[in-house]
Amino acid sequence: MVAAGIGAEPAELTEEQLEAGRRLAGAFFGIGKQQAALGHRMSKAGGVDRSTVMLLKTLVHQGPSRSSALAAAIHSDPSTVSRQIAAMVRDGLVERMADPEDGRASVLVPTEAGKALLEEQRKRLGLALARVVQEWAPDDVDRFLELLERFVTDHERHLPEMINECVAFAARSEGEK
């Protein structure tokens, strides 16, 4: 077994588990590359970038939110999110409203135009992905989705630890230079 850890408590992983992790990393790199290409084309065609869609999705999912809470929810820098939100407000996709808990602060809420844009993106991507698996057996699609949804849940749960590990690795690498 090889000791490998994320965060404070190292976990013992077998070579087989490490290989599965490497294969997952390769697969996600491939998907990431494909999604970046798709996102680039979609943003050129529709004028909407992936970060806008991700922020809208998060706002719809968690409800009215302060910019700082939104940044934390998507694991992004608050200043970056603030700039993205300013553009979304300017484009009429999001509006600022007084925070009901603290009238001095504001919360962000998707507008009807923002919700419509998100729904249109969801429909277009859903149609494209349905075509990818259209020749699969229905049981294969169901099993794949079950496992992928489970993976996404587990990935989200471990994401803060993975971010910390990546930051620590980058700091160690920078210190070795």
Q: What is the CATH number of the domain that holds 82?
A: 1.10.10.10
Better-scored residue on pLDDT, 42 or 110: 110
**Whole-number Cα distances in Å, 67 to 55, 59, 70, 73, 104:** 10, 10, 5, 10, 14
Pick from 176, 33, 174, 58: nearest CA to 115:
58
CA distance from start to end of the chain: 30
Q: Is residue 26 included in any domain, yes or no? A: no
Judgement on whether residues 140 and 175 belong to the same structural domain of the protein: yes
Report pLDDT for 19. Answer: 95
Judgement on whether residues 106 and 67 belong to the same structural domain of the protein: yes
Torsion of CA 85, 51, 142, 29, to 10 degrees: -150
Q: Is residue 95 included in any domain, yes or no? A: yes
Q: Is residue 104 included in any domain, yes or no? A: yes
Report pLDDT for 11. Answer: 66
Q: Is residue 75 included in any domain, yes or no? A: yes
Distance CA 62, CA 60 (A): 6
Beta bridge partners of 3: 12
Judgement on whether residues 98 and 54 belong to the same structural domain of the protein: yes
Pick from 60, 31, 41, 21: nearest CA to 129:
31
Instruction: Note the pLDDT tens digit of each residue in 44-67.
Output: 666 678 888 889 999 999 999 999
Helix, strand or coil, per DSSP, at residue 63: coil
Could you tell me the residue range of the domain that residue 149 belongs to? 133-177
**φ and ψ of 91, to 5 deg:** -85, 0
Q: What is the pTM of this model?
A: 0.71
Judgement on whether residues 139 and 98 belong to the same structural domain of the protein: no
Report pLDDT for 8. Answer: 39
Q: Which residues contact 6 (CB under 8 A, 6 or more apart)?
A: 158, 161, 162, 164, 165
Judgement on whether residues 105 and 137 belong to the same structural domain of the protein: no
Beta bridge partners of 126: none
Judgement on whether residues 165 and 137 belong to the same structural domain of the protein: yes
Judgement on whether residues 52 and 107 belong to the same structural domain of the protein: yes
Beta bridge partners of 102: 99
Q: Is residue 103 included in any domain, yes or no? A: yes
Burial of 56 (0-12, 13-18, 19+ CB in 10 A): buried
Judgement on whether residues 103 and 140 belong to the same structural domain of the protein: no
Mean pLDDT of the chain: 87
Judgement on whether residues 83 and 137 belong to the same structural domain of the protein: no
Amino acid identity of residue 76, one-letter, is S
Judgement on whether residues 100 and 147 belong to the same structural domain of the protein: no
Judgement on whether residues 55 and 106 belong to the same structural domain of the protein: yes
- Per the structure, the count of domains in the chain is 2
